[in-house]
Structure 1
Amino acid sequence: MELQFRPLRANEIDVRVGQVKEKGLSLLLYKDARCDMNILDETVGPFNWKREHTRENANCIVSIWDDLKEQWVSKEDTGTESLTEKEKGLASDSFKRACFNWGIGRELYTSPFIWVTNASIYKTTANGKDIFKCNDKFEVKEIQYDENKNITGIIIKNLTLKKQAYPGTYNNSNEPINDPPQSTEKKESYKCGDCSKEINENIAKFSYKKYKKILCMDCQKKQ
């Protein structure tokens, strides 16, 4: 059975706040169980896969029908409890992990470290200690992959502030860098420094942050 699952689209990826510090925070990329179900239906058909739970939902077995072998092929994994609905959260998490074993969303493991300074960070106190929090909501607007499904570019928007959050004007060490020069044309556009192809602002900023020069996607792959 030769089975290939497509990489996740931008609107299928959830963004959650990870570690929060005074001057910035990290973002983590996730997928939900509904995304896994949709991709299984799309790729193998709704009647050609099934899920089973054991150990009171701690383990999930996802099986896909193999026409050549005329049998079910299964992969299994263990989940962790949710902070809210323990049983439902445990079943959902074990299902998502089992789908990772099949390759659904595995490209998320190739995500760069995402550090954001464009956020509403505030200080509060818990157990006598000062901690920093952020309630902003974030969304993946664009994502790009190479031929091996590794993430090569990602753009994240802060929905609360209605501004682009990543890539921003800071690198992973929280050190300021220069933005690419602004176009003098009335219509904002940029040209690739290698092939002179016109590209949009988001790709220009991403390439400048990563390669310190403006490059189109094709020329980025050659770097």
Structure 2
Amino acid sequence: MDIRLLKANEIECRIGTFKEGKGISLLLYKDARVDMRILDEVFGFDGWEREHQLIDGKLFCTVKVWSEKRNCWISKQDVGTESNTEKEKGQVSDSFKRACFNLGIGRELYTSPFIWIPASMGYSKYEKFEVKEIGYNDDREINMLVIVDSKGKECFRFGDKTKQVKQVKREVTETMVKALYKIANDKGYSDDMVEKASKRDYKNNVIDISMKDYMTLKAKLEGLEAKKVGA
């Protein structure tokens, strides 16, 4: 069964939590119409069936698909939960969507990153969001996601390296090394002490010291007691 991955326009965003002054978390989901469309595409109009039954007061949905390879029907079942609006209709739709998850339709949504939009962006709890772009890796996991607001403004981006801010590697500069000499000289120590510790050739203006070692040496020099005059 070749269940395709969901397209961006088949995924909807729902506010998971809204924290005043902090931000909004979003959840990704699919609706029942998407499930029906994909079932038709993969198995054909007459290649799948659904039925609902009440078990111990809970509504279950069973989705059956025809397997050409095994020449038989394959069934997946799950239970639904009530919606906040229409109780019975919500259970019917939810149980169907859950059963389709068991078949593999939209299961990639479980790999979604945590979507957090900070309060500084100024959105209310009534804002509408939508998925503009989505990408997957070979394991059918989400590795790129772009979400926009109701005006089309980008408010969340995940996994697109070309858009991510590059982290600048901190390097030890000439000015920073000169500061080490000053600390040593002010306390009465010679340049040799700094040059030996930092593997620095003063004449050739070469600096060969990591940021970690630089910070260690700086702390060591600052911790030294000043030499007595004539010592």
TM-score, with length taken from structure 1: 0.68
Distance 1:5 1:119, change over 3 A: farther
Counterpart amino acid of residue 96 in structure 2: F
- Rounded Cα–Cα distance in structure 2 between residues aligned with 1:212 and 1:102: 41
Distance 1:142 1:89, change over 3 A: same
- Rounded Cα–Cα distance in structure 1 between residues aligned with 2:122 and 2:29: 20
How far apart are residue 120 of structure 1 and its match?
1.9
Match of 1:87 in 2: 88
Counterpart amino acid of residue 29 in structure 1: L
Within the alignment, does 1:23 sit opposite 2:22 as a pair?
Answer: yes
How do 1:114-129 and structure 2 match up within 5 A? 114-117=115-118, 118-121=121-124
Residues 87-120 of structure 1: per-residue CA shift (max 9 Å, x gap): 1110000000000000000000000000012342
- Rounded Cα–Cα distance in structure 1 between residues aligned with 2:122 and 2:7: 24
How do 1:42-61 and structure 2 match up within 5 A? 42-55=41-54, 58-61=59-62
| Contact 1:57-1:91 at 8 Å conserved across structures | no
- Rounded Cα–Cα distance in structure 2 between residues aligned with 1:203 and 1:141: 17
Within the alignment, does 1:146 sit opposite 2:149 as a pair?
Answer: no
Q: Secondary structure at the match of 2:131?
A: strand
1:157 to 148, 154, 165: 148
Distance 1:8 1:136, change over 3 A: same
Residue-pair matches, total = 162
Quick one: percent identity of the two aligned structures?
51
Counterpart amino acid of residue 162 in structure 2: A
| Contact 1:53-1:60 at 8 Å conserved across structures | yes
Q: Secondary structure at the match of 1:58?
A: strand
- Rounded Cα–Cα distance in structure 1 between residues aligned with 2:144 and 2:110: 14
| Contact 1:57-1:94 at 8 Å conserved across structures | no
| 4+ long deviations beyond 6 Å | none
Within the alignment, does 1:13 sit opposite 2:11 as a pair?
Answer: yes
Counterpart amino acid of residue 14 in structure 1: E
Residues 109-156 of structure 1: per-residue CA shift (max 9 Å, x gap): 0000000123423xxxxxxxxxxxx10000100000001110001000
| Contact 1:142-1:156 at 8 Å conserved across structures | yes
Query: Whose radius of gyration is greater, 1 or 2?
Result: 2
Structure 2, unpaired ranges of 5+: 169-231
- Rounded Cα–Cα distance in structure 2 between residues aligned with 1:157 and 1:70: 44
- Rounded Cα–Cα distance in structure 2 between residues aligned with 1:204 and 1:137: 26
More strand by share: 1
- Rounded Cα–Cα distance in structure 1 between residues aligned with 2:24 and 2:8: 21
Q: Secondary structure at the match of 1:77?
A: strand
Distance 1:119 1:38, change over 3 A: farther
| Contact 2:144-2:157 at 8 Å conserved across structures | no
Match of 1:99 in 2: 100
Within the alignment, does 1:38 sit opposite 2:37 as a pair?
Answer: yes
How far apart are residue 58 of structure 1 and its match?
1.0
Q: Secondary structure at the match of 2:6?
A: coil
How far apart are residue 82 of structure 1 and its match?
1.0
Residues 51-97 of structure 1: per-residue CA shift (max 9 Å, x gap): 01011771000000123433211010011011111111100000000
Q: Secondary structure at the match of 2:65?
A: strand
